[in-house]
């Protein structure tokens, strides 16, 4: 019993967490946000099957997401016309679409990894996005394809009229997909994908055709991307050519990087955080893309392991019971970091107001303070905040570094004893 609890405890916890979540955050907005997160988690994990596991950097992963979504949308219409496929299984049609497209384009693009693969993926992405507008019978032209998810054939008693029912469908698929993708990393193909990622030349001399390994890994990733697309179709009941385009392709790349490619759970964090930012920040500020970009660049520069890397960096410290030492240093650096950020933010918002608002002469407001963007005071304040914040941030950095050194010393000492 204890053994099973240890092995599956985290999965039980995840299931309960996902069931309870929409009951706590019960507004329509948060439920639809949670649904989007679930879809994004599958999509980002499937992306990492290629990038993290297989070493393939793709700029066109939305092709499989989108094509799966379109096929599922058509399937949904067919179900409405009397096809005997229960709604809960419609995402499988999305997966099927992903597999077919993945096999074809995977074989075409995986002869080499690296730059060659990345550029081909970009080309295929553009190709599909362009042909989406040329083939209106499948892609529905400008207005896209829509369907009604309230069909008669279902496996459960859900009618899917309410968002929470759709959420539970998404979450069920998400948990199944997470489990399958996790198990896949432990299969021969998953391991050999790592070998091909690390050293394709050597992999050939242990009997593997690197191209076949990459194609299979690619196809499985496309399957899960297609399932995410199928859930997208059910969630929104409308899909258009944008779904196969560069924007979702770039998005999933950023989610995965921000979450961290080195650990299986990294993309989950990235998908949740990025979806949250996209949906909430966009309502707060027009400049949200700029903040998002800053976060992305900052992560790539200073935390290339992503959120997961940052967390796992602390694991040995946590185990050694030395976390409090670091937390103190983090608290110290948080203050100037916040000041620096406030200064930057004020500067950005003033500039946005001046150049992009309808009437720049109108006063703007930040944190409930109303002021005119043309007056000199807010500029001075923001520059002061940046200066002071930066100065003390540099000082606090030394504190953090010193704490890390101390902690490392102590752990080393403990290891020797």
Partner 1 sequence: MTALKLVDVHKNFGSSRIINGVNLEVPKGERHAIIGPNGAGKSTLFNLISGFYKVSRGYIELNGHAITDLPPHRINRRGLSRSFQVTNIFPKMTVFENVRSALLWPMGYRYSFWHMCDRLKKVNRKTEEILEKINLADRRHIPAAMLAYAEQRALEIGITIAGDTDVILLDEPTAGMSKSETARAVELIRNVTEGKTLIIVEHDMSVVFDLADRISVLVYGKVVATDLPDNIRKNAQVQEAYLGKEVA
Which residues are at the interface with partner 1 (CB under 8 A)?
183-184, 186-192, 194-195, 197-199, 201-210, 212-213, 216, 220
Least separation in angstroms between CB 203 and partner 1 = 8
Return the H-helix or E-strand segment holding 249. helix 246-259
C-alpha span between 245 and 237 (Å, rounded): 18
Residue whose CB is less far from partner 1, 69 or 106: 106
Output the six-digit token pair for 229.
């697309």
Least separation in angstroms between CB 181 and partner 1 = 11
Least separation in angstroms between CB 313 and partner 1 = 16
Give every CB contact of residue 66 below 8 A, 6+ residues apart in sequence: 128, 132, 229, 239, 241, 243, 244, 245, 248
Handedness of CA 41, 43, 48, 54 (dihedral sign): positive
CA distances from 85 to 30, 76, 107, 167, 336 (A): 30, 9, 30, 20, 57
C-alpha angle 221/238/38, rounded to 5°? 45
Residue whose CB is less far from partner 1, 262 or 298: 262
Least separation in angstroms between CB 202 and partner 1 = 5
Residue whose CB is less far from partner 1, 191 or 328: 191
Position of tokens 């679930």? 38
Output the six-digit token pair for 67.
């094509």
Position of tokens 């309230």? 150
Residue whose CB is less far from partner 1, 92 or 287: 92
Residue whose CB is less far from partner 1, 194 or 397: 194
Residue whose CB is less far from partner 1, 181 or 373: 181
Least separation in angstroms between CB 228 and partner 1 = 19
Least separation in angstroms between CB 317 and partner 1 = 20
DSSP 288-325: HHHHHHHHHHHHHHH-TTHHHHHHHHTHHHHHTT-HHH
Residue whose CB is less far from partner 1, 214 or 353: 214
Least separation in angstroms between CB 312 and partner 1 = 14
Residue whose CB is less far from partner 1, 192 or 340: 192
Asked whether 262 and 309 are in contact (CB, 8 A), the reply is yes
C-alpha span between 275 and 303 (Å, rounded): 20
Least separation in angstroms between CB 194 and partner 1 = 6
């Amino acid at each position: 019993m204890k053994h099973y609890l240890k092995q599956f405890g985290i999965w039980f916890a995840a299931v309960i967490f996902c069931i309870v979540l929409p009951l706590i955050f019960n507004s329509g907005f948060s439920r639809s946000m949670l649904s989007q997160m679930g879809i994004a988690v599958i999509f980002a994990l499937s992306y990492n099957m290629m990038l993290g596991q297989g070493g393939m950097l793709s700029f066109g992963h939305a092709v499989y997401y989108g094509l799966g979504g379109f096929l599922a949308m058509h399937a949904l219409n067919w179900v409405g016309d009397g096809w005997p496929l229960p709604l809960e299984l419609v995402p499988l049609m999305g997966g099927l679409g992903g597999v077919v497209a993945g096999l074809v384009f995977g074989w075409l693009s995986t002869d080499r990894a690296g730059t060659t693969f990345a550029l081909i993926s970009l080309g295929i992405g553009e190709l599909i996005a362009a042909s989406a507008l040329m083939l209106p019978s499948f892609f529905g032209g400008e207005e896209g394809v829509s369907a009604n998810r309230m069909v008669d054939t279902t496996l459960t008693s859900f009618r899917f009229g309410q968002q929470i029912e759709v959420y539970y469908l998404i979450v069920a698929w998400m948990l199944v997909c997470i489990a399958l993708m996790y198990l896949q990393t432990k299969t021969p193909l998953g391991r050999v994908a790592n070998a091909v990622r690390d050293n394709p030349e050597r992999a050939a001399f242990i009997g593997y055709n690197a191209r076949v390994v990459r194609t299979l890994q690619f196809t499985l990733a496309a399957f899960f991307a297609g399932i995410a697309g199928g859930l997208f179709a059910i969630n929104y009941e409308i899909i258009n050519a944008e779904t196969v385009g560069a924007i979702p392709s770039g998005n999933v790349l950023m989610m995965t990087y921000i979450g961290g490619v080195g650990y299986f759970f990294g993309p989950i964090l990235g998908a949740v955080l990025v979806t949250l930012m996209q949906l909430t920040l966009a309502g707060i500020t027009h400049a949200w893309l700029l903040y998002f970009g800053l976060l992305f660049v900052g992560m790539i520069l200073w935390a290339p392991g992503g959120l997961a890397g940052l967390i796992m960096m602390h694991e040995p410290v946590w185990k050694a019971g030395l976390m409090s030492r670091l937390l103190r240093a983090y608290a110290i650096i948080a203050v100037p970091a916040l000041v620096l950020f406030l200064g930057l933010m004020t500067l950005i918002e003033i500039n946005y107001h001046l150049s992009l608002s309808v009437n720049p002469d109108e006063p703007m407001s930040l944190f409930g303070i109303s002021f005119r963007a043309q007056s000199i005071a807010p500029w001075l304040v923001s520059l002061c905040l940046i200066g002071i914040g930066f100065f003390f941030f540099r000082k606090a950095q030394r504190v953090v570094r010193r704490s890390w050194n101390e902690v490392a010393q102590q752990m080393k000492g403990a290891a020797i004893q």
